[in-house]
Chain A
Amino acid sequence: MRSFSTTRALLFALGVILLASFLPLGVSGYILGLLTLAYYFGVFAMAWDLLFGFAGEVNFGPTFLIGTGAYTAGILDNLYQPPIWLCLVAGALAAVIGGVVLALPALRVRGPYFGLTTLVAVLMLQNFIVVAAGLTGGEIGLTVPDVISISDTTNYEIALWFMAISGAILFSLSRSPIGLILQASGQDAVQAGALGFNVTKHKLAAFIISAFFSGLAGALLVFYLGTASVGTLVDITVGVQIIIAAVLGGRRTILGAVLGAVFLIAMSEALRPLGDLSNFIVFAMALIVVLLFPNGLLGLLTGTKENT
């Protein structure tokens, strides 16, 4: 990744964001809606990439963190109608707490067991939502009384700038000394320990940061959609799509994750006329990119060649 420096990458990304912020002048509300969704997915994928690409931990349950944040915010709004920002803060906090409760025991186990633990956590959350239907709306979903705005443009700009700020924070973090220590912990925990780094502390921190952005984005998404449902926020397939977006965009790049998310949502929209076949084609394309271009879309664009 030395082919472009941190500052240049951020400036370039800022340019793209500024251009994107003028999109509402030229495209329809429908497309804005799709992009809004894609931007929130981008944040999910970036948060996931911090955990996998840097700390080396495969979290199969990104939707556990997202769902915890989203449902906490939604339920709180449903019950007491506090100001929306309070719901958002509560959602992010709940995701962090849920993340810590999950990560503390999960980080003690090695290898694939961490991934399995996170996978089981998703299933538990999913079942809890269905069982506690009175509180959560169950399988039908939760409808929240408030939305942030009914304007497509406002919602679009909120998602765009939320994604931009999240991306800037996560990206800078990945390029900071902490990012380097995280990579060392992910690649060789024994050696990182022997160099004096508390591996568990760093991985836990990465999990907390990942949980914070996932939960906050999940909560924001609820107040954009006006509903929360297992199918859109918690289901395993949603988690798999987030993972595909991150890997497709380019592992260990943070910014690539956004690219992957936009690509994924744009493709399934473009192929919608094909009906059920569209998902198949999107996943097949993702598979091809992952197999042939392990550095993902961003790797293709920047021409980076890495030995993994």
Chain B
Amino acid sequence: MAAGAHLDVKGLTKRFGGLVAVKEMAFRVRAGEILGLIGPNGSGKSTVMKLIMGIERPDAGSVLINGVEVAGWPSHKIARMGAGIVFQHSRPLHRQTVFENIKLALLPDKLTRLFADPDIDERARAIAARVGLSAVLDRRPATLPFADLRKIEIAKAIARDPQVLLIDEPFAGLTSKETAAFSDLICELRDDGRAVLLVDHNVKSVARLVDRVLAMYVGERIAEGTADEVMRNETVRRVYLGGSIETAARPESSFRDSIAPFLAVGNVSVHYGKAQALEDVSIHVHAGEFVSVVGLNGAGKTTLFNSISGFLPYSGDIRREGTSLRGLTPATIARNGIVQCPEGRELFTDMTVRENLDLGGQHLPPAECANQIGWLFDLFPILRDRQKQTAGTLSGGEQQMLTIARALMMKPKLLILDEPTLGLAPVILEQLSKALERLRQTSPISVLLGEQNVTFALPHADRVYVLEHARIVWEGEPARFAAEAGTGYL
């Protein structure tokens, strides 16, 4: 059965409302082959995986497992056809032991089986030994380190002996040593003759493993080939690095507070349970400076911003104009002038544009409030036309502008923008980009921008940090980015 097992995807399409998340994807994964499916956040790669597994129903196209059409089947039937999935987030049964978790995956889907086959225990132990869980069989998942939780996921997936294995972001949250062990395991699974589909953000993280790479961007295939070929591909480089970018950086010494910066984040570390989200991160922002933090989804950008805004406990020190922010509530930090535009926008969708803005400026005297709104309408002219519309009916780009405008109503000294480009069409990006440039030129506000879209992050930046796997790996002028940090970003 293993020989010749393969996955064929043809014309696969998925729409969510008006958004085409996946458009006519086509690829084949042969037995004994690893295909890497890469793309930036929002490119539709996870959706492709869900469509194959039957977690989402495709609108069109076909998914063939060993030549059998499974598109539109419920996922338990697709699983029985020989497909298995390793989810990005560990989803163990928390009340059961590791052993029971693995055993679960070995059970038949039958209501008549009141007693498990006697050999199931033995098989569960063998699988545990293979992935390296033998020592912790009787423990509960909650007591285990992060890497072991990932191993449980792999163990469950291979327990059903899938011929087609889908793995979502295999290395997220793992240390380099754990990553190496995990890679070896995935290679073994390929050498067993399975067809493996690895889904990840960039080529670099999977380059060592994959036989071929397929790159996606906004639902469509943009390149396919070996890891090297894809990394050299012009379209891929443009998507990840931007084309030739005009930068307009001001030297760091030109800022008044060049010695003691407005915001100084010193050696900050954050843990989510067992996963390290930030490791010894130090950055600073001068008054009036525009700083971009570039990093892929999951690198730790949001965690960094939430630490600054006081939403998260952290170790290390965050100082504003020399005074520690530790112990201040998020509300105090925001009122004192460090205002964040969250990734999810969090607008009051049933209120009008004007009401949203008024709410942002409710602490201002009426005259000043009107004044500020006037300035914002100059900055984002489209909002003036949309004043009476409810925020929920705005397009994604307009909502993003409204979010930024509402934050600016609070007259911040430092504006933190978390992935403002998420899910926006290129034409909207340009409008947003122009508004940010005007903001930089015409106001003394400092901006801290978190982005994975380099094209958007570099042009306005005075300085750039690259955040990768919870750590700052590069700092410098935007002009030097492509040459020095670009390859690591592909």
Contact = CB atoms under 8 A, between A and B. Distances in A.
Contact of B76 (A1, A176, A197): A197
A202 B87 CA distance: 22
A178 B114 contact: yes
Interface stretch (B103-111, B214-222, B393-401): B103-111
A180 B156 CA distance: 14
Contacts of B183: none
A188 B79 CA distance: 16
B79 A191 contact: no
Given A193-B55, A193-B74, A177 B116 contact: yes
Interface stretch (B93-101, B364-372, B378-386, B407-415): B93-101
Contacts of B138: 2
Contacts of A195: 76, 79, 104-105, 156, 160
Contacts of B160: 195-196
A242 to B, nearest CB: 23
Contacts of A183: 93, 95-96
A193 B107 contact: no
B75 interface: yes
Contacts of B75: 190, 193-194
B79 A193 contact: yes
A277 B109 CA distance: 50
B85 A194 contact: yes
B84 A194 contact: yes
A178 B76 contact: no
B64 interface: no
B177 interface: no
Interface in A180-212: 180-181, 183-184, 187-188, 190-199, 201-202, 205
A188 B94 CA distance: 11
Contacts of A196: 76, 79-80, 109, 160
Interface string A149-163: 000000000000000
Contacts of A180: 93, 96, 100, 103-104, 107
A184 B79 contact: no
B115 interface: yes
Contacts of A197: 76, 107, 109
Interface residues of B, number: 33
Contacts of A1: 95
A171 to B, nearest CB: 12
Contacts of A194: 53, 55, 75-76, 79, 84-85, 87
Size bracket, chain A contacts:
20 to 34
* A contact face: mostly helix, strand, loop, or mixed: helix
A172 interface: yes
A199 B54 CA distance: 14
A181 B107 CA distance: 8
A276 interface: no
A178 B103 CA distance: 12
B70 to A, nearest CB: 13
B419 to A, nearest CB: 26
Given A184-B93, A184-B104, A252-B95, A198 B84 contact: no
A31 interface: no
Contacts of A177: 107, 113-116
Nearest to B83: A194
A173 interface: yes
A176 B116 CA distance: 8
B489 to A, nearest CB: 32
B179 to A, nearest CB: 23
Contacts of B94: 187, 307-308
Contacts of A181: 104, 107, 109
Nearest to B55: A190
A183 B107 CA distance: 13
A297 to B, nearest CB: 18
Contacts of B85: 194
Nearest to A181: B107
A193 B74 CA distance: 8
Contacts of B54: 193
A180 to B, nearest CB: 5
Contact of B91 (A173, A188, A202): A188
Interface string A255-281: 000000000000000000000000000
A235 to B, nearest CB: 33
Interface in B428-466: none
- In order of increasing CB-CB distance, the 3 nearest A-B pairs are A196-B79, A193-B75, A177-B107
14 contacts: A173-B114, A176-B114, A178-B113, A181-B104, A181-B109, A187-B93, A191-B87, A193-B75, A194-B55, A194-B85, A195-B160, A196-B160, A197-B109, A205-B111
Given A176-B116, A184-B93, A307-B140, 11 more contacts: A1-B95, A2-B97, A176-B113, A177-B107, A180-B103, A180-B104, A183-B96, A191-B87, A193-B76, A194-B85, A197-B76
